[in-house]
Amino acid sequence: MTKLSVNINKVATIRNARGGNNPDVVQVALDCEAFGAQGITVHPRPDERHIRYQDVYDLKAVLHTEFNIEGNPITKFNDLVMKVRPTQVTLVPDAPDQITSNTGWDTKKNQTFLTEIISEFKEKGIRTSVFVNADPEMVEYAAKAGADRVELYTEPYASGYEKDPLSAVAPFVEAAKVARSLGLGLNAGHDLSLKNLRYIHEQISWLDEVSIGHALICDALYLGLEKTIKRYLECLS
């Protein structure tokens, strides 16, 4: 079964726009769990422009499902993950000024660095995933670095889906097969939506987890959060 992890960064963005605690990020996460989500994802950035570091501690204290923390493994981020000890940490090569993640790791070039970081997290019992493009070589070097999983960066699939779904998904199927052959777990995320989620899941049925935030929160404005989560889960059924 492919799990749905809801990224709640956008909820924090709305809260931070006005100050105070409305919407309540922790309560929204608990509601997502109650409505059927099997995980919660956060991506705290150094400037805390959406999820704050304190949110991560607050969430850890109350969540019942899998907790996934994404981010660039700088010292501040690493210290947070070591203290919180989530179910999973996803390593993403974000620059501080990036609006959103827009590429995966060059796992070959950064193999030594990633090997050291992954080893530290795994010693604490934290499952470690590496964010990669749909490139078999990048998947292979993630495995060599000791990753438990890779997360495929799916924006290229999403952008090409409406024009030619088969061509858009083809490199992701290839990368996914390589991951499976190497014994790596497989996640996917970025720009997945109700329009394109079912198809990629049909083509890569062995996905362990999809992490979805922006599209899901946008859909919830029209459908409501509970109905939206159920619709996403139906795409994975």
For the chain, the average pLDDT equals 96
User: Residues near 205 by Cβ (< 8 Å), separated by ≥ 6?
Assistant: 2
Q: Per-residue pLDDT averaged across 135-149, rounded? A: 98
- Catalytically annotated residue among 43, 50, 66, 140: 43
Bond before 165 cis per omega within 30 degrees: no
pLDDT score of 185 = 98
pLDDT score of 210 = 98
Q: What is the pLDDT of residues 2-24, one digit of tens each?
A: 999 999 999 999 999 999 999 99
pLDDT score of 98 = 66
pLDDT score of 95 = 74
pLDDT score of 42 = 98
The CA distance from 201 to 224, in Å, is: 24
Q: What is the pLDDT of residues 56-103, one digit of tens each?
A: 999 999 999 999 999 999 999 999 999 999 999 999 998 766 667 778
Residue with the two structure tokens 């809260």: 15
Q: Per-residue pLDDT averaged across 211-216, rounded? A: 98
pLDDT score of 103 = 86
Number of domains in the chain: 1
The CA distance from 46 to 109, in Å, is: 24
Q: Is the dihedral of CA 19, 64, 42, 1 positive or negative?
A: negative
Q: Specify burial of residue 62 (Cβ count, 10 A radius: 0-12, 13-18, 19+).
A: exposed
- Catalytically annotated residue among 33, 50, 140, 190: 190
User: How far is residue 211 CA from its own chain's centroid?
Assistant: 4
pLDDT score of 200 = 98
The CA distance from 203 to 173, in Å, is: 7
DSSP 74: -
Residues in the chain: 237
Residue 182 pLDDT > 90: yes
Task: Tell me if residue 190 is catalytic.
Answer: yes
Beta carbons within 10 angstroms of residue 136's beta carbon: 17
Q: CA angle 3-49-228, nearest 5°?
A: 35
Instruction: Record the pTM.
Output: 0.95
Domain boundaries, position 170: 3-235
Q: What is the pLDDT of residues 157-179, one digit of tens each?
A: 999 999 999 999 999 999 999 99
Task: Tell me if residue 70 is catalytic.
Answer: yes
- Catalytically annotated residue among 33, 50, 66, 70: 70
CATH number of the structural domain spanning residue 67 = 3.20.20.70
pLDDT above 90 covers what percent of the chain? 96
The DSSP H or E segment spanning 212 is strand 209-212
Q: CA angle 203-206-207, nearest 5°?
A: 90
